[in-house]
Chains A and B, each alone.
Chain A
């Protein structure tokens, strides 16, 4: 019964509550990660990673946003932030914040977005 989540009943949800994954913490070095920050796997993963960390590394082989990652893992954003903060501290992933105002203040990119939307 180790790798599939145990369900007591519908109402209770999975027996392992999200915050158990992060040992009850709600704060980590990942607090400030933007929802659209880019996450990518780096370095060599150690062998003793938990299932969530393995999932994150797999999902982040290609650059992926924090929000997409939370959807993919089906975990609350706050939980993913804590996991990512730890993983970054251990050199497993890099997290690049969207430079605030960088892209949005880029005229060429905004024009590209307008044209892209028109073409949808």
Chain B
């Protein structure tokens, strides 16, 4: 039907994950033009099975704003960044986002390292290539990347790096590390 595939722009997705307030929005804004993307979604599935909602299609919906950025590599080749809400109740969005994604950046804050456990688990289970970027907040105790690797129980091949998401060069470095990691994952699989 669509015979013009060769002209179709190539669109790649990168997910930016991590706990609340860890710097996802800042990272997306540091490296791309950021726009708020509205997604209107089912608020909660918790009532299902408790209340009998069979046949009732209208459930409470809420508007979730997602950070959305785009980096134009060249005409016809665009990398899209999606900042994913970190809470588990938004996992239904992650499934959609991670489908076909090039990879993910998990931002970690060493003061609240447990916040990024769900993200790490999720991408490990999904087999989505990811890197862990430790955001160095002012005044936060500096940890070595090895400490973080051990604390998160990461596989040896998962890149862990320190970063300052406010700085464009640092944000760039994180993205490059991720795409290089995805490339390695790809070539080792072939």
In the assembled complex, the CB of B177 is this many whole angstroms from the nearest CB of chain A, namely 10
Choose among B38, B68, B82, B96 the residue that contacts A76 (Cβ–Cβ < 8 A).
Answer: B38
Contact of A11 with B by CB under 8 A: no
Can you spell out 26 A-B residue pairs with CB atoms less than 8 angstroms apart?
Answer: A35-B82, A36-B12, A38-B8, A38-B11, A63-B7, A63-B9, A68-B70, A70-B38, A71-B36, A76-B63, A77-B39, A77-B40, A100-B99, A101-B100, A103-B12, A104-B12, A104-B100, A104-B186, A107-B183, A109-B10, A112-B73, A113-B73, A114-B179, A114-B180, A118-B172, A120-B172
Contact of A111 with B by CB under 8 A: yes
**In the bound complex, what is the Cα–Cα distance between A26 and B79 (angstroms)?**
28
* B residues less than 8 Å from A68 (CB atoms): 70
Interface residues of B in 55-105 (CB under 8 A from A): 57-58, 61, 63, 68, 70-71, 73-74, 77-80, 82, 96-97, 99-103
**In the bound complex, what is the Cα–Cα distance between A77 and B80 (angstroms)?**
15
**In the bound complex, what is the Cα–Cα distance between A38 and B38 (angstroms)?**
18
Is A34 a contact partner of B41 (Cβ separation < 8 A)?
no
Contact of B5 with A by CB under 8 A: yes
* B residues less than 8 Å from A109 (CB atoms): 10, 12, 77
Is B10 a contact partner of A103 (Cβ separation < 8 A)?
yes
**In the bound complex, what is the Cα–Cα distance between A116 and B101 (angstroms)?**
18
Interface residues of A in 44-92 (CB under 8 A from B): 63, 65, 67-68, 70-71, 74-79
**B57's closest neighbor in chain A, by CB?**
A26
* B residues less than 8 Å from A35 (CB atoms): 13, 80, 82, 96-97
Is A78 a contact partner of B5 (Cβ separation < 8 A)?
no
Is B100 a contact partner of A113 (Cβ separation < 8 A)?
no
Is B176 a contact partner of A104 (Cβ separation < 8 A)?
no
* A residues less than 8 Å from B41 (CB atoms): 78
Chain A interface: which size bin? 35 or more
* B residues less than 8 Å from A116 (CB atoms): 71, 73-74, 77
In the assembled complex, the CB of B165 is this many whole angstroms from the nearest CB of chain A, namely 15
In the assembled complex, the CB of B52 is this many whole angstroms from the nearest CB of chain A, namely 20
Contact of A110 with B by CB under 8 A: yes
* B residues less than 8 Å from A27 (CB atoms): 57
* A residues less than 8 Å from B77 (CB atoms): 109, 112-113, 116
* A residues less than 8 Å from B176 (CB atoms): 114, 117-118
Contact of B31 with A by CB under 8 A: yes
Contact of B108 with A by CB under 8 A: no
* A residues less than 8 Å from B183 (CB atoms): 107, 110-111, 114
Contact of B187 with A by CB under 8 A: yes
**B59's closest neighbor in chain A, by CB?**
A26
In the assembled complex, the CB of A94 is this many whole angstroms from the nearest CB of chain B, namely 5
**In the bound complex, what is the Cα–Cα distance between A51 and B169 (angstroms)?**
42
Interface residues of A in 94-110 (CB under 8 A from B): 94, 96, 98, 100-101, 103-105, 107, 109-110
